[in-house]
Structure 1
């Protein structure tokens, strides 16, 4: 991570988009992923879902037989790369069908677009 400061307005908007990803996924409204992911999204959750490009990511989420019930994003750190790009580090807890809880580290790249901040890359490292 670059440790370049991000202005508070952008930092809040970036954190908001990370939270919105969780809400869209939890509602299983995958056709809304374009509201939070950039068209060039690269998504890497080893052993579960790896896809590139918005259409492929949407299709991959739709194909998950037992999606998580509830995602909780915590400990968000936002570092600027430049005025239109930031790197984010956060932790996530996911409640799965049947009651299992999983934890992970999210490493996101977010990009400023004409529509606002969007996640352009997400790499997930499962914990535990």
Structure 2
């Protein structure tokens, strides 16, 4: 079954809803975004992997003021997998309380259940170098004179 325009829009809105709920401290509503058994992989940003909705909420509360004050998401790309699940990729921008910012890529597996679309797996990858590292000095061929 091909994804409808409505499904694509619903997945994009689901991804956007995460930032609104977290930034407003509405952690009790995370079941509107994630499955109960969600796996949230923060390994790339040094926070390991969190399994389960309750553990995800606990992890956010434990970070307290170290959490971003604003999560922004953009560049959402949605693709259907042969197993009926959906793969979504998006860019995230986090603004911290001190005004510093960071950029990440979200790689999500999204599934449809009785309550609609939910994220069952999210991998957060930090963006640390431009062009994915392409063009760094060590990657450049020697310049001929």
| Distance in structure 2 (CA, Å) of the matches to 1:6 and 1:49 | 32
TM-score (norm 1): 0.91
Q: Specify the alignment match of 1:48 in structure 2.
A: 47
| Distance in structure 2 (CA, Å) of the matches to 1:76 and 1:39 | 23
Matches within 5 A, 1:18-57: 18-46=15-43, 47-48=46-47, 50-57=49-56
Aligned to 1:64, the other structure's residue is in SS state: helix
Q: Specify the alignment match of 1:101 in structure 2.
A: 101
Query: Which moved further from structure 2: 83-92 or 101-110?
Result: 83-92
Q: Specify the alignment match of 1:64 in structure 2.
A: 63
4+ runs of 1 displaced by more than 3 Å? none
In structure 2, list runs of 5 or more residues that go unmatched.
129-145
In structure 1, list runs of 5 or more residues that go unmatched.
none
> Would you tell me which structure has more strand in proportion to its own residues?
1
Q: Which has the higher contact order (CA 8 A, sep 6+)?
A: 1
State the Cα RMSD in Å. Answer: 1.6
> Would you tell me which structure has more helix in proportion to its own residues?
2
The structure with more radius of gyration: 2
TM-score (norm 2): 0.81
